Amino acid sequence: MKLATFNVNGIRSRIEEVNRLLNQVQPDVVGLQEIKCETSLFPYESFAGYYCSVSGQKGYNGVAICSRVQGSPLEILNEVESRSIGYVIGGLLIVNVYAPHGDARGTPKFVQKLNWFGKLRQRLQELLTTYSSIVIMGDFNVALEDIDVWDPLLLKDTVGTYAEEREEMLKLMEIGFVDVFRYLNPNASEYTWWDYTSGRAKRNQGLRIDYILVSENLLPSVRECHILRDLRVEKSFKPSDHVPVVCTLDLLPT
Protein backbone atom coordinates (compact mmCIF):
# COMPACT_ATOMS: atom_id res chain seq x y z
CA MET A 1 0.00 0.00 0.00
CA LYS A 2 1.38 3.34 -1.10
CA LEU A 3 0.51 6.46 0.90
CA ALA A 4 1.15 10.07 -0.07
CA THR A 5 0.71 13.37 1.76
CA PHE A 6 0.81 16.71 -0.02
CA ASN A 7 0.16 20.29 1.09
CA VAL A 8 -1.04 21.68 -2.24
CA ASN A 9 -1.46 25.36 -1.26
CA GLY A 10 -4.68 25.71 -3.25
CA ILE A 11 -5.93 22.55 -5.00
CA ARG A 12 -7.46 24.45 -7.91
CA SER A 13 -4.04 25.97 -8.73
CA ARG A 14 -2.27 22.62 -8.41
CA ILE A 15 -4.09 20.31 -10.83
CA GLU A 16 -1.03 19.68 -13.02
CA GLU A 17 1.21 18.86 -10.09
CA VAL A 18 -1.42 16.57 -8.56
CA ASN A 19 -1.81 14.79 -11.92
CA ARG A 20 1.94 14.21 -11.97
CA LEU A 21 1.82 12.73 -8.47
CA LEU A 22 -1.11 10.44 -9.29
CA ASN A 23 0.35 9.24 -12.61
CA GLN A 24 3.99 8.81 -11.58
CA VAL A 25 3.55 7.51 -8.05
CA GLN A 26 0.13 5.83 -8.31
CA PRO A 27 -0.60 6.09 -4.59
CA ASP A 28 -3.41 4.06 -3.05
CA VAL A 29 -4.23 6.84 -0.60
CA VAL A 30 -3.49 10.57 -0.85
CA GLY A 31 -3.89 13.10 1.96
CA LEU A 32 -4.18 16.70 0.81
CA GLN A 33 -3.83 19.84 2.94
CA GLU A 34 -4.56 23.51 2.29
CA ILE A 35 -6.99 22.83 -0.51
CA LYS A 36 -8.28 26.39 0.12
CA CYS A 37 -11.77 25.85 -1.26
CA GLU A 38 -15.22 24.89 -0.15
CA THR A 39 -16.07 21.18 -0.34
CA SER A 40 -18.38 21.77 -3.34
CA LEU A 41 -15.51 23.37 -5.32
CA PHE A 42 -13.13 20.42 -4.91
CA PRO A 43 -11.96 19.16 -8.36
CA TYR A 44 -13.29 15.61 -7.97
CA GLU A 45 -12.93 15.06 -11.73
CA SER A 46 -9.12 15.17 -11.39
CA PHE A 47 -9.24 12.14 -9.07
CA ALA A 48 -10.82 9.59 -11.38
CA GLY A 49 -10.52 6.15 -9.80
CA TYR A 50 -10.39 7.59 -6.27
CA TYR A 51 -13.01 8.02 -3.59
CA CYS A 52 -12.47 11.52 -2.12
CA SER A 53 -13.61 12.58 1.32
CA VAL A 54 -13.32 16.36 1.60
CA SER A 55 -13.52 18.87 4.43
CA GLY A 56 -13.29 22.25 2.75
CA GLN A 57 -13.45 25.85 3.84
CA LYS A 58 -13.65 29.07 1.85
CA GLY A 59 -10.26 30.64 1.24
CA TYR A 60 -8.17 28.94 3.90
CA ASN A 61 -7.16 25.51 5.22
CA GLY A 62 -9.19 22.52 4.00
CA VAL A 63 -8.17 18.84 3.89
CA ALA A 64 -9.10 15.78 1.83
CA ILE A 65 -8.37 12.06 1.67
CA CYS A 66 -8.59 10.30 -1.69
CA SER A 67 -8.44 6.50 -1.75
CA ARG A 68 -8.62 3.90 -4.50
CA VAL A 69 -10.46 1.61 -2.13
CA GLN A 70 -13.76 2.81 -0.74
CA GLY A 71 -13.86 3.41 3.01
CA SER A 72 -15.84 5.34 5.60
CA PRO A 73 -15.24 8.95 6.65
CA LEU A 74 -14.58 9.52 10.35
CA GLU A 75 -14.60 12.86 12.15
CA ILE A 76 -11.32 13.45 13.98
CA LEU A 77 -11.73 16.84 15.65
CA ASN A 78 -14.88 18.94 15.92
CA GLU A 79 -13.29 22.26 14.94
CA VAL A 80 -14.25 25.49 13.22
CA GLU A 81 -11.30 25.45 10.81
CA SER A 82 -11.02 22.45 8.45
CA ARG A 83 -7.75 20.94 9.64
CA SER A 84 -8.43 17.23 10.12
CA ILE A 85 -10.21 14.38 8.40
CA GLY A 86 -10.31 10.62 8.91
CA TYR A 87 -11.05 7.71 6.60
CA VAL A 88 -11.36 4.07 7.62
CA ILE A 89 -10.21 1.53 5.03
CA GLY A 90 -10.79 -2.01 6.26
CA GLY A 91 -9.06 -2.20 9.64
CA LEU A 92 -6.83 0.79 8.93
CA LEU A 93 -7.59 4.33 10.06
CA ILE A 94 -6.05 7.10 7.96
CA VAL A 95 -5.85 10.50 9.66
CA ASN A 96 -4.94 13.55 7.58
CA VAL A 97 -4.07 16.81 9.36
CA TYR A 98 -3.09 20.39 8.66
CA ALA A 99 -1.64 21.75 11.89
CA PRO A 100 -1.99 25.48 12.60
CA HIS A 101 0.98 27.48 11.34
CA GLY A 102 1.28 29.34 14.63
CA ASP A 103 3.16 32.55 15.32
CA ALA A 104 5.88 33.91 17.57
CA ARG A 105 6.12 32.64 21.15
CA GLY A 106 3.67 34.42 23.40
CA THR A 107 1.10 35.28 20.74
CA PRO A 108 -2.46 33.84 20.74
CA LYS A 109 -1.72 31.78 17.63
CA PHE A 110 1.31 30.23 19.32
CA VAL A 111 -0.91 29.04 22.18
CA GLN A 112 -3.63 27.87 19.78
CA LYS A 113 -1.13 25.71 17.90
CA LEU A 114 0.04 24.01 21.12
CA ASN A 115 -3.57 23.47 22.23
CA TRP A 116 -4.50 21.98 18.86
CA PHE A 117 -1.73 19.37 19.24
CA GLY A 118 -3.04 18.56 22.72
CA LYS A 119 -6.57 18.00 21.40
CA LEU A 120 -5.31 15.83 18.56
CA ARG A 121 -3.23 13.75 21.00
CA GLN A 122 -6.23 13.16 23.26
CA ARG A 123 -8.40 12.16 20.31
CA LEU A 124 -5.74 9.77 18.98
CA GLN A 125 -5.36 8.19 22.40
CA GLU A 126 -9.10 7.49 22.30
CA LEU A 127 -8.95 6.18 18.71
CA LEU A 128 -6.08 3.82 19.57
CA THR A 129 -8.48 1.89 21.82
CA THR A 130 -10.69 1.16 18.77
CA TYR A 131 -8.22 1.11 15.86
CA SER A 132 -4.91 -0.66 16.40
CA SER A 133 -3.60 0.34 12.98
CA ILE A 134 -3.47 4.09 12.39
CA VAL A 135 -1.60 6.24 9.89
CA ILE A 136 -1.35 10.00 10.55
CA MET A 137 -0.18 12.05 7.64
CA GLY A 138 -0.02 15.74 6.91
CA ASP A 139 1.53 19.13 7.40
CA PHE A 140 2.45 19.35 11.10
CA ASN A 141 4.18 22.76 10.78
CA VAL A 142 6.92 21.51 13.13
CA ALA A 143 10.51 20.58 12.26
CA LEU A 144 11.18 17.94 14.91
CA GLU A 145 14.97 18.14 15.09
CA ASP A 146 17.75 20.46 13.99
CA ILE A 147 18.59 18.10 11.09
CA ASP A 148 15.13 18.90 9.78
CA VAL A 149 16.13 22.58 9.44
CA TRP A 150 18.49 24.01 6.78
CA ASP A 151 20.03 26.53 9.22
CA PRO A 152 19.17 25.64 12.82
CA LEU A 153 21.03 28.65 14.23
CA LEU A 154 19.36 31.21 11.97
CA LEU A 155 15.96 29.63 12.57
CA LYS A 156 16.34 28.96 16.30
CA ASP A 157 13.18 30.03 18.17
CA THR A 158 11.07 30.65 15.09
CA VAL A 159 7.77 29.15 13.93
CA GLY A 160 8.26 25.41 13.51
CA THR A 161 11.41 25.10 15.64
CA TYR A 162 10.22 26.32 19.07
CA ALA A 163 10.93 23.77 21.81
CA GLU A 164 7.28 23.95 22.92
CA GLU A 165 6.06 22.99 19.44
CA ARG A 166 8.54 20.13 19.17
CA GLU A 167 7.53 18.87 22.62
CA GLU A 168 3.85 18.83 21.68
CA MET A 169 4.50 16.83 18.53
CA LEU A 170 6.83 14.45 20.39
CA LYS A 171 4.17 13.94 23.09
CA LEU A 172 1.74 13.03 20.35
CA MET A 173 4.20 10.50 18.92
CA GLU A 174 4.99 9.05 22.34
CA ILE A 175 1.47 7.61 22.63
CA GLY A 176 2.53 5.16 19.92
CA PHE A 177 3.45 6.67 16.56
CA VAL A 178 6.67 6.62 14.55
CA ASP A 179 7.94 9.09 11.92
CA VAL A 180 8.48 6.76 8.95
CA PHE A 181 10.98 8.92 7.05
CA ARG A 182 13.23 9.31 10.10
CA TYR A 183 12.84 5.62 11.02
CA LEU A 184 14.19 4.60 7.61
CA ASN A 185 16.72 7.48 7.28
CA PRO A 186 18.16 8.20 10.75
CA ASN A 187 20.67 10.82 9.57
CA ALA A 188 19.19 12.31 6.40
CA SER A 189 18.64 16.07 6.06
CA GLU A 190 15.80 16.34 3.58
CA TYR A 191 13.10 18.97 3.48
CA THR A 192 9.43 19.06 2.49
CA TRP A 193 8.88 22.84 2.46
CA TRP A 194 10.80 25.84 1.15
CA ASP A 195 9.79 29.49 1.47
CA TYR A 196 8.64 30.93 -1.87
CA THR A 197 10.75 34.03 -1.19
CA SER A 198 14.51 34.51 -1.41
CA GLY A 199 15.14 31.56 -3.76
CA ARG A 200 15.04 29.10 -0.87
CA ALA A 201 13.98 26.13 -3.01
CA LYS A 202 16.80 26.24 -5.56
CA ARG A 203 19.35 26.50 -2.76
CA ASN A 204 17.60 23.69 -0.85
CA GLN A 205 17.09 25.90 2.19
CA GLY A 206 13.99 24.27 3.66
CA LEU A 207 12.34 22.53 6.57
CA ARG A 208 10.93 19.04 7.03
CA ILE A 209 7.44 19.72 8.39
CA ASP A 210 5.33 17.17 6.45
CA TYR A 211 5.20 13.66 7.88
CA ILE A 212 3.73 10.22 7.63
CA LEU A 213 3.44 8.64 11.09
CA VAL A 214 2.39 5.04 11.67
CA SER A 215 1.20 3.29 14.81
CA GLU A 216 3.95 1.07 16.22
CA ASN A 217 2.19 -2.17 15.22
CA LEU A 218 2.63 -1.17 11.55
CA LEU A 219 6.44 -0.83 11.77
CA PRO A 220 7.12 -4.37 10.44
CA SER A 221 5.18 -3.37 7.30
CA VAL A 222 7.20 -0.23 6.59
CA ARG A 223 9.21 -0.57 3.36
CA GLU A 224 10.04 2.80 1.79
CA CYS A 225 9.60 6.51 2.34
CA HIS A 226 10.59 9.25 -0.08
CA ILE A 227 10.31 13.03 -0.30
CA LEU A 228 9.52 14.09 -3.87
CA ARG A 229 11.78 17.13 -4.14
CA ASP A 230 11.74 16.89 -7.95
CA LEU A 231 8.23 18.30 -7.96
CA ARG A 232 9.53 21.58 -6.52
CA VAL A 233 12.57 21.85 -8.79
CA GLU A 234 10.51 20.94 -11.89
CA LYS A 235 10.05 23.97 -14.14
CA SER A 236 7.06 22.78 -16.17
CA PHE A 237 4.43 23.95 -13.68
CA LYS A 238 3.91 26.25 -10.74
CA PRO A 239 4.74 24.23 -7.66
CA SER A 240 3.32 24.30 -4.16
CA ASP A 241 5.70 25.53 -1.46
CA HIS A 242 5.53 21.93 -0.12
CA VAL A 243 6.35 18.64 -1.83
CA PRO A 244 4.72 15.23 -1.28
CA VAL A 245 5.99 12.57 1.11
CA VAL A 246 5.35 9.02 -0.10
CA CYS A 247 5.58 5.84 2.01
CA THR A 248 5.09 2.21 1.02
CA LEU A 249 3.74 -0.29 3.53
CA ASP A 250 3.52 -4.04 2.97
CA LEU A 251 -0.23 -4.03 3.44
CA LEU A 252 -2.92 -4.85 0.96
CA PRO A 253 -5.11 -1.82 0.22
CA THR A 254 -8.35 -3.54 1.20
Partner DNA sequence: ATGGTTGTGCAACAA
Binding site for DNA (CB under 7 A): 9-13, 36-37, 58-61, 100-101, 109, 196-198, 238, 241
CB of 100 to DNA, least distance (A): 6
Residue whose CB is less far from DNA, 72 or 196:
196
Tell me the three state secondary structure of residue 247: strand
CB of 67 to DNA, least distance (A): 22
Residue whose CB is less far from DNA, 109 or 171:
109
Residue whose CB is less far from DNA, 20 or 36:
36
Count of other CB atoms within 10 angstroms of residue 150: 18
CB of 251 to DNA, least distance (A): 31
CB of 71 to DNA, least distance (A): 26
Residue whose CB is less far from DNA, 81 or 253:
81
Nearest to 227 by CA among 18, 13, 9, 25: 25
Tell me the three state secondary structure of residue 209: coil
Question: Positive or negative CA dihedral for 211, 214, 219, 223?
Answer: negative
Are the C-beta atoms of 160 and 141 separated by less than 8 Å?
yes
Half-sphere exposure of residue 51, counting CA atoms within 13 Å on the CB side? 10
